[in-house]
């Protein structure tokens, strides 16, 4: 079936204005799950309303958690400290955080739970998480190594020591961390290989857990210790999304504008806020950027780098291959669609050939977003500067930033979305 196409008219003046960012997806889905496992009523403010968080709320409701929607950014979550068996499989679309977090959490259900998603999610690997759960005594299986997953829970979780690979997605480790607080004793998680790449996301998980009364410590670089005791309901504010902020910061630099997002980068705890330093260096970005600690910001930085004065090599980004799509290949494909020599892939590194003269040129190309919100939003940056760049499946931004195209329009950008 043909998909909608977004055509963005390049701008001729600096973009200025004020933008209200959506809440952080990473924090919202962690807070929803922990509040659902807590005893009592929690009030979450500033949450993100998107496809991913809607799937998480629907799954929690299916397992007996009452969620009252107060307004567009506020919910009250009424938890009992337990999860009940769901009558149907938990369908989570292409929501990676929800799928991975719940695959671990449903070990607390006394009965069988099926965790599944759409055609894209059913291609995303989850076997390493299942291996870890099985090592912890959880009955978890998958025929393909991807969703759907079957977890046969016992209503309890038995704690202990567990070693996990440092090559795993940080979401797998976060899933184990949040489950561990519900155990019957101390859980010590040792990360094989010394450390995990996206360690900042583990500290986000720990911060949310602590806000709900859990005790989490990082005694060494490769050890996480979680104490038992579960979670206690609380009022919790979700901070704005740093990944979403990267698009606005990049628009500022590309157009010489001034966009007020209401929060400074150092006011955000999310790893992607580190991308601010790379963005403000434009058009003299570093020749090598290690993306391991700001993975969701890499598509933004890579598209920005296309207009940099010198080439930029992105390293430490191998985990981008198992996101909503293979983001290394998706960004490479998009950049080379704009100009054939604009980027190369070397192993798991992405090399972008910067060229300031690219701005103002014409490139009649259709960018395949691969149904990936970050690809669509990042290539909108290129479309601001290069004539003829169009983006396929633009509504995939609903995953984390449903108002994205309206935000661009509010800044004075002409965005035309045509239906097939």
In order, the DSSP letters of 114-148 are EEE--TTGGGS--HHHHHHHHHTT-EEE-SSSSS-
- Domain residue spans of the chain: 5-22+240-418, 25-237
Binding site residue list for 3-phosphoshikimate? 25-26, 30, 169-171, 296, 319, 323
Annotated binding site for phosphoenolpyruvate: 25, 96, 124, 171, 327, 374, 399
On whether the CB atoms of residues 229 and 215 are closer than 8 A, the answer is: yes
Q: What is the pLDDT of residue 195?
A: 58
* 10-residue mean pLDDT series, the chain (420 residues): 94 96 95 98 96 96 98 96 97 94 97 96 92 93 97 88 80 94 94 72 95 96 93 97 97 98 93 96 98 94 98 95 93 98 97 97 96 97 98 95 97 94
CATH class, range 25-237: alpha beta
Given 51, 241, 272, 296, the catalytic residue: 296
Look at the alpha carbons of 31, 34, 36, 41 in this order and tell me if their dihedral is positive or negative. Answer: negative
- Per residue in 339-351, is it b (16+ CB within 10 Å) or e — as a string? beebbeeeeebbb
How many angstroms separate the CA atoms of 48 and 23, rounded? 4
For the chain, the residue count is 420
**Binding site feature residues:** 25-26, 30, 96, 124, 169-171, 296, 319, 323, 327, 374, 399
The phi and psi torsions of 223 (rounded to 5 degrees) equal -135, 135
pLDDT at residue 196 in the model: 65
pLDDT of res. 316: 93
Active site residue 364: no
C-alpha distance from residue 90 to each of 32, 44, 106 (Å) = 16, 23, 10
Topology given in CATH for the domain delimited by 5-22+240-418: UDP-n-acetylglucosamine1-carboxyvinyl-transferase; Chain (3.65.10)
pLDDT at 413: 98
């Amino acid at each position: 079936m043909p998909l909608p196409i977004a055509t963005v008219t390049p701008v001729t003046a600096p973009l200025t204005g004020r933008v209200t960012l959506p809440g952080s997806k990473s924090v919202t889905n962690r807070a929803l799950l922990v509040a659902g496992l807590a005893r009592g009523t929690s009030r979450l403010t500033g949450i993100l309303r998107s496809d991913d968080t809607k799937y998480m709320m629907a799954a929690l409701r299916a397992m007996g958690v009452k969620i009252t929607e107060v307004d567009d950014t506020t919910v009250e979550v009424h938890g009992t400290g337990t999860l009940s068996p769901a009558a149907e499989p938990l369908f989570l679309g292409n929501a990676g955080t929800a799928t991975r977090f719940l695959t671990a959490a449903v070990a607390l259900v006394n009965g069988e739970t099926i965790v599944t998603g759409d055609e894209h999610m059913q291609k995303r690997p989850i076997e390493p998480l299942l291996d870890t759960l099985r090592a912890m005594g959880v009955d978890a299986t998958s025929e393909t190594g991807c969703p759907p997953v079957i977890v046969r829970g016992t209503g309890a979780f038995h704690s202990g020591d567990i070693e996990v690979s440092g090559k795993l997605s940080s979401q797998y480790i976060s899933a184990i961390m949040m489950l561990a607080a519900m155990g019957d004793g101390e859980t010590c998680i040792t990360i094989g290989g010394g450390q995990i790449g996206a360690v900042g996301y583990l500290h986000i998980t720990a911060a949310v857990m602590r806000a709900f009364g859990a005790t989490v410590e990082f005694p060494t670089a490769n050890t996480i210790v979680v104490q038992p005791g579960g979670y206690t309901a609380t009022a919790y504010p979700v901070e704005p999304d740093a990944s979403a902020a990267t698009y606005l910061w990049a628009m500022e630099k590309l157009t010489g504008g001034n966009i007020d997002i209401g929060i400074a980068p150092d006011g955000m705890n999310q790893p992607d806020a580190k991308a601010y330093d790379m963005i403000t260096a434009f058009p003299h970005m570093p020749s090598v950027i290690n993306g391991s600690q700001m993975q969701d910001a890499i598509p933004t930085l890579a598209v920005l780098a296309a207009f940099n004065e010198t080439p930029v090599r992105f390293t430490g980004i191998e985990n981008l291959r198992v996101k909503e799509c293979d983001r290394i290949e998706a960004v490479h494909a998009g950049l080379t669609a704009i100009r054939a020599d604009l980027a190369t892939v070397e192993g798991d590194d992405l090399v972008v050939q910067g060229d300031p003269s690219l701005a103002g040129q014409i490139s009649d190309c259709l960018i395949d977003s691969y149904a990936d919100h970050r690809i669509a939003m990042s290539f909108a940056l290129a479309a601001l500067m290069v004539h003829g760049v169009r983006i396929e499946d633009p509504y995939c931004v609903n995953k984390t930033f449903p108002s994205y195209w309206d935000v661009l329009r509010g800044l004075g950008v002409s965005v035309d979305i045509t239906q097939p």
